[in-house]
Structure 1
């Protein structure tokens, strides 16, 4: 009862797989599923942290900024402070010289008027008028009659003294910088010094007035230079940045308005829904899914044609993402380096074994990016570059150390080597950080890194049978196991049909070399060739390679019966392989290696024995025609090996002619119409098979012993 239930479930599962392969929308649904799972698993790692704090409260813990952002308010404050610079002034020497020249003109005019007034005929008003005519308009307007009269009434000796004292004081004051701010003080100082002279009171007052009016500002505000200096000061101010990882407020410190503003800028305050992080994560997921689609489509392998294979890849991705997510949750455990225990290499190792190395390497980079997001809990940024590097190195080492032939025994070896690479990667990260670590901390780091590789190999060994049995796929490891001569079916061929066994080995050699030359799966072709004639074990003596020292039974039966026996070995073989649960790829090769070719010998024999037209369809194999390159190449190699073996004295020319003829006939017969073999690839297959055959049937050198035997005989 239990066995029947298991068989029923298995049939249901396999039927569903066949349905999956036929539905085109399943492919896009699977990619969508990967994107959705990636988004949901990484969502908690990108949701902005929101703090429940209030103004003037105490911080429960150190709060660091998760991003680098400019504090524009603080920057503007710093620029405002920098703009408050002293005004820039410029000293104008020409102003001082102009005032001195005007004083010289004044006293020269007074002296001239005094000389013209030697007869005292002019009145005071006339003298003033004459003097004003000798002076500039501006100076005439500045000096009043009360100032000019005492000067005109003074003696020439007094005028000379007044001129000397006035020019001396004015030149001394105007040589310095006189601004509007210190103008009055400068005039006061002149007055104080000139008041000490012994001149009459009226002349002294006039002298002081003239001197004070000659003192004007010569140090002026320079608006352009002031503005330029202000702009330079503003531009010199660096933006006030809140750096990623910067402690905004320490534990126990007061949260004032300035701190609240910094928390707001860093996005740590709950100010409503912010869609930016969610959009960023969505773009990242779309990018990663796009890369996955590109890598999967670009893989040069037959596995990309079926949705089932995509489903396998999706399951590996989802399993690896789940492992990464669960491992990232262990960061809360207070153990140094606990994050390094993540067995992420299992994903790349499974992809390498079930698909190929190219896709596994590309997937390693995708796992590294995802790990950077998953393990960002202990850092302030969106990605943990250290863990991303560690995961990438671990994944790549898992791919490289499996080797070209993925024996199951290699998985454990690869796991140990992955552990060593993990330890080296951790050592690199610790040394680059240049931190101080105790011996216990280092031990934990290296222990978890070592365990990671071991767990990866264990998980790979545990999951491989699930994928191989559950999805009816064939891996390199499985192919290698099937190629073991101790396999029951191969033992059956060897014991019951030794001729067929030798024929199969020869076909395997030819097929593997030909498939590898065109980029097909050479190992699959070799193993398929081992089993392709398993159906001959039912009636071994009806096939010429097994007829040792016996009559040919076909001579005693009709060609129609002979045809039935010969043709049935393909279908019988397929049934036997299915019964022993061999992979579908091997079954297909056994069933398709003859395609729908014509059994020419018995067809012509039947035509000779019959008076009526014999239909070719009756003497053709039932097919189907080759659906894959491997099946087509095995069919070519099978026919060529049998034909070359029947030749009496094969040589390179006759072999090449035969090989080209067989391939051409199959091509013209449409045997390659349902597989994607190109004419160029058929030519490469022909050349490769010829090279192999020429190596097998090369001419031998007769050794002296053999020559001696011939002579004596």
Structure 2
């Protein structure tokens, strides 16, 4: 047993030395990071580390491809690219399928009808001019009439031709003109109507170049069986055949428009990301080889775009992080601590991610879903702030899409990225609830349930074909991820707390344990102070929660804020039970020094016990630079020549909202406890007076508490005090037993 004890002591010393070594190096690092250049260098190192972690995940996959040989593996396209060759082929085919557009010239029919009508009208005019009954010849001399009457058919034909154009005369045979001028006038009119009707009927239809002769025959058929004499009938047929021409012509412009419209309907043919180009064992012919070349598998060593994209992506993220920390309103020391913690947690999470990705070739499920997705969010939420936790969750979700891309054809797996991001955000929301702030394991169990629902929702949306065994493994992965996140958080928190001196909710919970040596010291040596501290803790906790400050810190800080009174407990009124007040026999200056000393003594005791700086600050600042009014006025009454500054606490003033609230609660509790008959009205008046006095004394000038928050604090304090100092029922029928009992 002695040997075991010695080994345990030796191990403890080694662990302590290792912790001191870590703390010493972190102290040096934090000192360096006080320089802005080293802060920038920190994020450069973070970016380089992330780049190295993800370099292999964006590196194009090398595949062995040989023309006219079977493929050694199934190859899927890693990106979506347009197959311009296939697209152009499709456009050419659709262009060839578009028929030529022919336009009907409707005016041609009317033109020919008008021409036929003009010829017949001209023939009728010749008939009238050469007819003896011509009214126009009545006024002429006899010689002229005789010459007209004696006009020969040839002369009439000449007269008719003179009324027509040379072009018409060339196209129409001489026999036609002769038949027209020799025909009877009534027959000529009938022939005109029949010929125009036949021409109009035929020309109203579409007549291509190949159909012209058939169209002429249709017109001839319409005129062939008329009652006209043969010569006039043949003349009409000849005129009709001459009038029938092609009226449908190729329209180049409209044809081009239709072909253009048809081409525009063709969607570009693409090789989609994830599409199988060639299956294992399939012959790589020239078409497959062309597609592989188009998809970038033949020249993937030459591309630099994935590396450039990753560089730009990480530059954007690290630059945004630096800018966010740079704009922070925290003190330089606090800012450096936040940078270091954030960077270390991010690098740790990236390392774990990479390790999981290296062993992600399981048969049933992606190992990436076992990754403790919420670990970083839980750590940062407890160590820093939920804003930083949300930031690291989003960043890790983005990184996860790249690192866990082994089972997808491209470089990004968005499903696992969404899972990591929403799992981390769910953890932040769970830990924001008061009941889970210090119950990380329970929070992890609840997170496991959420992970299962989240993962199954993603699987159902993707509509994959999964077996029951695969669903089972996915469920196990979600549960393991949630529990592992909480377990790792619990295991890593003490190292970060000790290394960086960060006060987390877990640490606060440990410090609130009544069995803590310092709390037992207060309880045994100054029980009145202990009771007073518990009362102040209740008041401050409620008030801080009301203004969304750290209620747990206020409660625990209140437990220790008056620990300095244990050095001289009998000089403080709450510990003076059945004894004479020693201040009645002491000079005011001495009493002043004793009272003021409890602040300094408390800070020294807490520092000696290596308590967190936040607790030390509460003990040192809760009185600020307020005035010891009782002893100051006592000195004035005794005629002493004193200055007000001599009877003030040394400060500093409250630097945080929590310390300001504790200072108010401390004064309020002591004042209300000294009241004989506290009523709600008196309590409200007292709280308002204390807050007003502190404001007028500028005790809140160095913290960021607002007037609205002070109003909420006042309301919370009054509600809590009314619950503590509520009215008692009097029993007048037992006057002898009636007495005042302080609750």
Q: TM-score range by the shorter chain?
A: 0.7 to 0.9
SS in 1 for 2:406: coil
Deviation (angstroms), 1:8: 5.2
Greater alpha carbon shift after TM alignment, 299-308 vs 231-240:
299-308
Secondary structure in 1 matching 2:702: coil
- Partners of 2:364 and 2:469 within 8 A in 1: no
**SS in structure 2 of the partner of residue 474 of structure 1:** coil
1:221 aligns to 2:250 (yes or no): yes
Aligned-pair CA distance for 1:266: 3.8
What are the Cα deviations for residues 128-177 of structure 1, in whole angstroms up to 9, with x where unaligned? Answer: 42341254443202236588689999999x99999999999978975764
Instruction: Please tell me whether the aligned partners of residues 415 and 453 of structure 1 are also in contact (alpha carbons under 8 angstroms).
Output: yes
Gaps (5+ residues) in structure 2? 1-12, 133-148, 225-230
Check 1:299–1:387 CA distance in 2 against 1; reply closer, same or farther (3 A cut).
farther
* Matched residue, 1:529: 558
Unaligned residue ranges in structure 1 (runs of 5+): 196-201
Q: 2:99 aligns with which of 61, 65, 86?
A: 86
Worse-superposed segment, 545-554 or 65-74: 65-74
Q: 2 CA distance for matches of 1:448 and 1:376? A: 17
How many Å separate the matches in 2 of 1:7 and 1:380? Answer: 46
Superposition deviation, residue 534 in structure 1: 1.4
Q: Which of 410, 427, 432 in structure 1 is aligned with 2:439?
A: 410
Structure 2 counterpart of 1:199: none
- After TM superposition, the structure 1 stretch with the greater mean CA deviation from structure 2, 235-244 or 344-353, is 235-244
Within the candidate set 406, 415, 422, 1:377 is matched to 406
Whole-Å separation in 1 of the counterparts to 2:222 and 2:653: 126
Counterpart among 78, 81, 84 of residue 66 in structure 1: 78
Bigger CA drift: 678-687 or 503-512?
678-687
In the TM superposition, what is the alpha-carbon distance from 1:351 to its structure 2 partner? 2.6
Find the aligned partners of 1:58 and 1:549 in 2 and give their Cα distance: 102
Distance in 2, Cα, partners of 1:602 & 1:160: 143
Post-superposition offset of 1:48? 5.0
1:60-104 deviation line (CA, Å, top 9, x unaligned): 333333333433443333333333333222344553565466567
Provide the rounded CA distance (Å) in 2 between the counterparts of 1:274 and 1:111: 89
Q: Residue in 2 aligned with 1:634?
A: 662
**Whole-angstrom CA distance in 1 between matches of 2:548 and 2:645:** 34
Residue 273 of structure 2 is aligned to residue 244 of structure 1? yes
More displaced, 143-152 or 405-414? 143-152
Contact 2:219 2:237 in 1 (8 A): yes
- What TM-score comes out, normalization by structure 2 length? 0.79
Q: Distance in 1 between matches of 2:463 and 2:15?
A: 61
CA gap of 1:436–1:259, structure 2 versus 1, over 3 A, is closer
Is 1:429–2:458 an aligned residue pair? yes
Partner residue of 1:546 out of 565, 569, 575:
575
Q: Structure 2 matches for 1:331-480, cutoff 5 A?
A: 331-357=360-386, 359-361=388-390, 363-402=392-431, 404-405=433-434, 410-480=439-509
Q: How many angstroms apart in 1 are the aligned matches of 2:510 and 2:557? A: 13
Conserved 8 A contact 1:299-1:359? no
In structure 2, relative to structure 1, the CA distance for the partners of 1:204 and 1:318 (3 Å cut) is same
Residue in 2 that maps onto 1:75: 87
Q: Provide the secondary structure at the position in 2 that maps to 1:248.
A: strand
Which residue does 1:497 correspond to in 2? 526
2:588–2:634 contact (8 Å) kept in structure 1: yes
Structure 1 CA distance for aligned equivalents of residues 347 and 636 of structure 2: 62
Tell me what 2:137 maps to. none
Q: What's 2:597 paired with?
A: 568
Q: Alignment RMSD, CA only?
A: 4.7
Using a 3 Å threshold, how does the CA distance of structure 1 residues 674 and 19 change in structure 2: closer, same or farther? farther
Judging changes above 3 Å, is the alpha-carbon distance between structure 1 residues 152 and 421 closer, same or farther for their aligned structure 2 residues? same
Q: Given the superposition, is the C-alpha separation of residues 472 and 150 from structure 1 closer, same or farther in structure 2, using an over 3 Å criterion? A: same
Trace 1:692-707 onto structure 2 (pairs within 5 A). 692-704=720-732, 706-707=734-735
CA distance in 1, matches of 2:261, 2:550: 71
Q: How far apart are the structure 1 equivalents of 2:281 and 2:176?
A: 78
What TM-score does the superposition give when structure 1 sets the normalisation length?
A: 0.82
Residues 78, 273 of structure 2: 8 Å contact kept:
yes
106 and 349 in structure 1: CA distance in 2 versus 1, 3 angstrom threshold: same
> Does the CA contact (< 8 Å) of 2:328 and 2:335 recur in 1?
no
